[in-house]
Structure 1
């Protein structure tokens, strides 16, 4: 039986969703974040040295990183579903979005989170103006422009067909869901109507709803 080592409010929700779309049987091993640090518990290091989720174990094979897991599951269980034909023009687009999600979309979102934590970190009162200034400068001079550039781009791409690859739902949409959900939960731009519509569509999918039922609380849905 395939096992998903599932951390609450994490990228592993995408793996559960894909498995539901493919109707692959699986079991879940649950882990909870530390409520103060929001880090994964140390028990995950027994599964993978980095101690992060998602991680799956399938027939004795351990696979980490959500993009690698999605590609592994498609190759083993997909039977041609949820991905374009290898070598096609749409395949190149598919590979692009599979890597873009974590390689380009997530870094400015993570920097945004870091800047917010710097601004709110408990420090002596005489240091507070300095930390706030650092955070504000980072936010306005780099993070906000990067977020606008990336999410304007994403919104424009989605406005063409409603999906990331061609005119049909694919695993690229699953991979791209997490950065869009994370961004939407923090500072959604009302002008990004294509992103909003995309999120409404994916959240209505039966497989997505089943994954939520099995995975438990997910604050980004």
Structure 2
């Protein structure tokens, strides 16, 4: 039996979703974030040395990192290739690209925005606040925001050519992309200027397997 070591409001939610799409049985072991730091609890280090989520265990196999988990689950439980295009096809190349794009390209600028938003709001002495805000605003205006907008425009254009990220059929690449685009919609400036991406999110959130994963996973405010 697969065990998903599930941290609230984290990337592990998309692992639950993938398992629901595959129709594979699993159990959930829940972990709560520290209410002050929002870090994962130290108990997760007993499962994997980095103490982060997502992590799954499947018998004596332990797999961490979202992309690696997606590939393991597809290799092990998707023999018919329902959620991964056939090898050697353009769709398979796009699938691989977006599978890695989610964490390699999409998440870093979103994380930078989160960090500099916190820097801007951080409690500091009044005479320091103009300096910290000025630095944060400059980095956002000169680097983070332009990169986010360029990335959103690129993804918007891609979805203008096909219904889903890998092609005309839904795939696990869409599952992998979900966390980044949910974070972008919540706090990254993904607004009405990008109607195809907003429509993609609506279609994702309407999938029965996605709804079942939310019911099993518990609160997930990133999708709100």
Spell out, residue by residue over 1:170-194, the C-alpha distance to the aligned partner (whole angstroms, 9 max, x if none). Answer: 0000001110000001122211000
5+ residue gaps in structure 2? Answer: none
Residue of structure 1 equivalent to 2:9: 9
Residue of structure 1 equivalent to 2:114: 113
Within 5 Å, which residues of 2 pair with 1:1-221? 1-79=1-79, 80-186=81-187, 187-221=189-223
Spell out, residue by residue over 1:22-56, the C-alpha distance to the aligned partner (whole angstroms, 9 max, x if none). Answer: 01000000011112211111111111111100000
- Structure 1 residues 165-174 or 83-92, which shifts more? 83-92
* Local SS of the residue matching 1:220: helix
Runs of 4+ deviating beyond 2 Å: none
Task: State the number of aligned residues.
Answer: 221
CA distance in 1 between partners of 2:144 and 2:174 (Å)? 24
Spell out, residue by residue over 1:83-142, the C-alpha distance to the aligned partner (whole angstroms, 9 max, x if none). Answer: 011222211111000000000000000000010010111111111111101100011000
Per-residue deviation, 1:162? 2.1
Q: Are the counterparts in 1 of residues 183 and 222 from structure 2 also a CA contact under 8 Å?
A: yes
CA distance in 2 between partners of 1:218 and 1:189 (Å)? 20
Q: Are the counterparts in 1 of residues 191 and 198 from structure 2 also a CA contact under 8 Å?
A: no
* Local SS of the residue matching 2:83: coil
CA distance in 2 between partners of 1:188 and 1:99 (Å)? 20
Spell out, residue by residue over 1:45-96, the C-alpha distance to the aligned partner (whole angstroms, 9 max, x if none). Answer: 1111111000000011000000000000000001211001122221111100
5+ residue gaps in structure 1? Answer: none
* Local SS of the residue matching 1:153: helix
